[in-house]
Amino acid sequence: MFVNKESVSQPNFLASAKFVAATYQISNTGVTANAKGRKIVPAGTVYPANDATAIGITYTETDVTEGPQPGSVLIEAWILKERLPVIPSAEALTALVEKSDIKFKQSL
């Protein structure tokens, strides 16, 4: 049986090997389907939104095509914010500092 495999490339946004992640329900609201019809929330997405509600950053990509799914969210980590798929907003940065132990390090 032939299986069509697909590879994914994403930059490493972690600045340290030490981190803490927890499982949260990743919403499919507002997620646009890709060319293959799949709704994917990429790793490095501010969770639950890139605003004052932010409490973490997704550690892995999550397929929410069939509806909300459990996903891994970093709640303690050093992050290279320039490598995230979308740079966190000022409100999200403030919320992450207040609600989690996410810290940001400048990329070299």
Q: What is the pTM of this model?
A: 0.87
**Which residue(s) pair with 56 in the sheet?**
47
**What percentage of the chain has pLDDT greater than the value 70?**
89
For 55, the token pair is 């409490």
Cβ partners under 8 Å of residue 83, min gap 6: 11, 12, 13, 44, 107
* Whether pLDDT at 2 is above 90: no
In this prediction, residue 102 carries a pLDDT of: 96
Please, what is the average pLDDT of the chain?
A: 92
Q: What is the pLDDT of residues 38-62, one digit of tens each?
A: 999 999 999 999 999 999 999 999 9
What is the H or E stretch that residue 57 is in? Answer: strand 56-58
Cβ partners under 8 Å of residue 5, min gap 6: none
